[in-house]
Amino acid sequence: MDTYARFPVALVRGRGVWVWDEAGSRYLDCVAGIAVNTLGHSDGSLRRALARQLGQLQHVSNLYRIPEQEQLAAAITARSCFDRVFFCNSGAEANEAAIKLARKHGHSVRGIEQPLILSAQASFHGRTLAAVTATGQPKYHQGFEPMVQGFRYFPYNDTAAFEALLATCEAGGPQVAAVLLEPLQGEGGVIPGDPAFFARVRQLCSERRILLIFDEVQIGVGRSGRLWGYEQLGVEPDAITLAKGLGGGFPIGALAVKASADHFQPGEHASTFGGNPMACRAGLTVLEQIERRALLPHVQAMGSLLQQQLSALVARHPERFEGVRGWGLLQGLVLRADAGITAPELVRAALQQGLLLVPAGPSVVRFVPPLVIQPRHLRHAVRCLESALVGLKPQPQA
Ligand SMILES: *Cc1c(COP(=O)(O)O)cnc(C)c1O
């Protein structure tokens, strides 16, 4: 079905940070399946691990213990502030699990009959009905009404507005089960969370025993330069959702919770494919390789370099760009309102120059390359982007 506005390009092969189309043209991949291909394309360790797993056992039901799933849960909890993990297959599905968990928390811990979930404007939480309702962008709701009940929205990073909404909702007693937030808004325009705002939200949630849930589907698993996005903000949420980068290209999603937020009983939530041996082998391999190859300091270094290179580009074209923002290898190049081009137009022009990029809204060009990207690739990416930009100008500068 026609659910995607696709580029007329079919990618058929990949190696590291490079992909090739049907015609044999090569592209530098700064999209990585939108923050998915953590280790790059056709990574040897992931190939070997999955080939071995394929020869051993592919899928079994969650009716039985799944050792690979137990190992991946142990790997996640050992490296985070969480104690238990539920596995599924995508970001939206992980957020659905979080929303159900939040409602149970509202009923059982706060004694609320019709619990509310507060989420941010310009957020993105996925396309299933509850996840898209949590998404604070009316354009994603349009045509799919009625939306799911029990969601309220506030402007991101706005402490006063958040406090006001919470006060209104709770004027007559407990009403709010959870606050759902991205530590950095990805799709919404690459907007990093403000530590002061998050500290205040954490404090208010703790005082009232409201669950604080972070959607780390895009920023989690090393992309920010820390393993988890919450480490960038200095606050611990009660739960996080993961997906995109966790399987390095193999579909997997997860909800990780602290013991105090572990409200699911047997039979209350499930997923047929969730946490099957193939997906968990992929997740285990990604986490293992992030450590073995010291990818966290690498992402920090590459993120700084990319930010530097993009800042220099901004300085050379002040009539086009407003600036650069992001964490690690999730960076957004922000176009001026009067730039005369939109982010989708610039992305299209970059494709012609052999560079894959993805917009984050109408005025932000997003860089989310594989975490294994090297300095020479980043310099090449910025050169390609500059060629694309110059090609878009009616009067190229001397
Ligand atoms: C991509 C994304 C989702 C949705 O993930 P799917 O796997 O497409 O369902 C949810 N939250 C955030 C922050 C995302 O970036």
CA of 391 to the centre of ligand 1 (A): 33
Domain shared by 283 and 305, yes or no: no
Domain shared by 325 and 206, yes or no: no
Task: Domain of residue 359: give its range.
Answer: 11-30+294-390
Regarding the beta carbon of 91 and ligand 1, being less than 6 Å apart is answered yes
**pLDDT number for residue 396:** 41
SS3 percent helix, strand, coil of the chain, rounded to 5, is 40, 20, 40
Domain shared by 258 and 241, yes or no: yes
> Which atom of ligand 1 is closest in space to residue 182's alpha carbon?
13
DSSP tag of 271: -
Domain shared by 348 and 245, yes or no: no
Regarding the beta carbon of 96 and ligand 1, being less than 6 Å apart is answered no
Regarding the beta carbon of 216 and ligand 1, being less than 6 Å apart is answered no
Domain shared by 135 and 26, yes or no: no
Joined together, the tokens standing for residue 204 give 């208010």
**pLDDT number for residue 391:** 85
CA of 326 to the centre of ligand 1 (A): 17
- Output the domain CATH number for residue 365: 3.90.1150.10
Residue 107 in domain? yes
**Cβ atoms of 220 and 242 closer than 8 Å:** yes
Residue 395 in domain? no
Nearest residue to 258 (alpha-carbon basis) of 398, 25, 391, 98: 98
Report the run of H or E that residue 116 belongs to, with start and end: strand 116-120
Distance between CA atoms of 254 and 68, rounded to whole angstroms? 14
pTM of the model as a whole: 0.97
Regarding the beta carbon of 218 and ligand 1, being less than 6 Å apart is answered yes
Say if residue 61 is exposed, middle or buried (CB neighbours under 10 Å; 0-12, 13-18, 19+).
Answer: exposed
Domain shared by 247 and 146, yes or no: yes
Helix/strand/coil for 152: strand
Domain shared by 281 and 303, yes or no: no
> Which atom of ligand 1 is closest in space to residue 90's alpha carbon?
7
Residue 136, strand partner residues: 121
> Which atom of ligand 1 is closest in space to residue 93's alpha carbon?
9
**pLDDT number for residue 392:** 79
Residue 4 in domain? no
CB atoms within 10 A of CB 10: 9
CA of 23 to the centre of ligand 1 (A): 31
Residue 39 in domain? no
- Output the domain CATH number for residue 130: 3.40.640.10
Residue 191 in domain? yes
CA of 217 to the centre of ligand 1 (A): 6
Give 142's contacts (C-beta < 8 A, 6+ positions apart). Answer: none
Residue 253 in domain? yes
Write down which residue in 231, 264, 292 finishes a domain.
292
Domain shared by 198 and 136, yes or no: yes
Domain shared by 155 and 172, yes or no: yes
Residue 40 in domain? no
Domain shared by 226 and 310, yes or no: no
User: What Rg value do the Cα atoms of the chain yield, rounded?
Assistant: 21
CA of 121 to the centre of ligand 1 (A): 16
Write down which residue in 292, 322, 351 finishes a domain.
292
**pLDDT number for residue 393:** 65
* Nearest protein CA to atom 6 of ligand 1, as residue: 91
CA of 293 to the centre of ligand 1 (A): 26
Low-confidence ranges of the chain (pLDDT < 50): 394-398
Domain shared by 306 and 275, yes or no: no
Residue 35 in domain? no
> Which atom of ligand 1 is closest in space to residue 89's alpha carbon?
7
Domain shared by 135 and 253, yes or no: yes
- Indicate the number of domains in the chain: 2
CA of 89 to the centre of ligand 1 (A): 11
Regarding the beta carbon of 89 and ligand 1, being less than 6 Å apart is answered no
Write down which residue in 242, 269, 292 finishes a domain.
292
Best probe residue, ligand 1, of 140, 244, 273 (max atoms within 8 Å of C-beta): 244
